[in-house]
Amino acid sequence: MIILNPKHLCSSMASTIKINQSKKEITRCVRQTGIKYTVDDLKIAKGDIFLNQTLHKEFMKMKSNERSKYCFGCNFSYQDSVNRWKNKTWDAKEFETLELKKQVVTWCDFILSPICNMACMYCDSSYSSTWKALNGEPNYIVDQEWNNAALDSLIDFIRRYVLDISKSFTVNILGGEPMFLWKDTKHLVSCLAKVFEDSKTQLIISMATNLNVSDKFIQEYIDLVKSYPNIEFQVKASLDALGERAENIRTGLDYDLFLKNINIIASSKLVHISINQTVNVLSINGIENFYRYWVDWANTYDLIKTRNFWITHNICTFPVYMDPAILPTRYRLHIEDLIGYLDTIHDKRVNDIKNFWYNIHKSIGTKRTEQILEKANNFFIEQGKKKDIDYFILFPELVEITNASM
């Protein structure tokens, strides 16, 4: 079997891994492409399930055209991408013994379940039980056996390939909303704490949360942090805009509750906090004010001075109708205003943020085709019907955004 120019395979697997319980997938790919595994697969392979060669053998079992759609178009946001294989014709057997660039793994995303109390505009039922309900799909049932087998595999991998090799190792707990599976979250932290107890490798526990939970969960989280003084804890608070705009993008969000809870966590002085923004077609308008607000907020707690706060980002590229690249080019002005503000902040980390926004600036307008905009118009109408919302009233700019002649 000969494979011609396999540009769809990357010679360097990522330094991050992902465990996705809702999809029963393990990922070690810069584009977050996963391979499905059963409980038996996890129990047999254990920690080796995360190794480069294991995943490549799984890719080889797929048809060539199936592989190519996974890795085609690896772009600027996938910084680990190394496609050095693309200029050679390969025999399939060569993949079995191909020497890969070794990457020390430093990060694991652990998706516990899609149980969530929000239905964000760019999300779907794979990551939100609220979206499942809106779509009339069956309720999600957590597969505890798969979760346990995946955790056992992760612990085996850490013991053999991470401890005392990597300077630090981050486990980023995701959902859905991970605080709604508090028992599982506490168990995960407890197991990991024991593994890292006598190691030189620093364990970091990060949690991506919408912070729209009761006081009980926030207090339990703070109590958990206090129980493990040797672990560095981080909260990645998901928010895309300010006030009502934020609530309208992230259906189900109570902005005042978000503020209340993030203030409680900041007051504890125990946790590194970041505002994690999903950059989308509706978050560019007002982006400078978004940054100004959160930088001023962080300064009231001295979080920037102590490097315990930052603003981080994801880019919404799917569905394409929420991608900032469909915006009219005049929206680049919002980013130019933001970069002007960022120039006033004296922090070395600002350079990375500016580079990120320069790339967004370049992308704006690049996907404004008549076909995409027509489908975008229908996307906002149909999603609004499911939620009994008129997005063209909530966001008047959508009239311009979805009009190819403007």
Mean pLDDT to the nearest integer, 20-38: 81
pLDDT at 96 over 60: no
Could you tell me how far CA 202 lies from the centroid of its own chain? Answer: 22
Q: pLDDT digit string (tens) for 155-173?
A: 999 999 999 999 999 999 9
Per-residue confidence band for 388, with pLDDT thresholds at 50, 70 and 90: very high
Q: pLDDT digit string (tens) for 258-310?
A: 999 999 999 999 999 999 999 999 999 999 999 999 999 999 999 998 899 99
Q: Which amino acid is at 82?
A: V
Per-residue confidence band for 174, with pLDDT thresholds at 50, 70 and 90: very high
Q: What is the pTM of this model?
A: 0.87
In this structure, are residues 334 and 316 in contact, taking their beta carbons and an 8 Å threshold? no
**pLDDT given at position 133:** 94
**pLDDT given at position 75:** 44
Let me know the angle formed at the C-alpha of 304 by 302 and 305, rounded to the nearest 5 degrees.
65
In the chain, the percentage of residues whose pLDDT exceeds 90 is 71
Q: Which residues are CB-contacts of 391 (< 8 A; sequence separation ≥ 6)?
A: 121, 248, 380, 381, 383, 384, 398
**pLDDT given at position 141:** 85
* Residue ranges of domains in the chain, CATH in brackets: 2-86 (no CATH), 107-401 (3.20.20.70)
- Helices assigned H by DSSP within 110-162: 129-134, 144-161
Per-residue confidence band for 35, with pLDDT thresholds at 50, 70 and 90: confident
Per-residue confidence band for 53, with pLDDT thresholds at 50, 70 and 90: low
Residue with more model confidence, 245 or 17: 245
**pLDDT given at position 305:** 87
Strand pairing class (168-174; 202-209)? parallel
pLDDT at 90 over 80: no
Per-residue confidence band for 65, with pLDDT thresholds at 50, 70 and 90: very low
Per-residue confidence band for 11, with pLDDT thresholds at 50, 70 and 90: very low
**pLDDT given at position 311:** 96
Q: Which of 75-79, 186-190, 290-294, 298-302 has the lowest mean pLDDT?
A: 75-79
pLDDT at 212 over 90: yes
pLDDT at 78 over 50: no
Per-residue confidence band for 50, with pLDDT thresholds at 50, 70 and 90: confident
Strand pairing class (34-36; 25-27)? antiparallel
Residue with more model confidence, 33 or 34: 34
DSSP single-letter state for residue 395: -
Q: pLDDT digit string (tens) for 103-129?
A: 688 999 999 999 999 999 999 998 999
Query: Residue 120: helix, strand or coil by DSSP?
Result: strand
pLDDT at 218 over 90: yes
pLDDT at 6 over 90: no
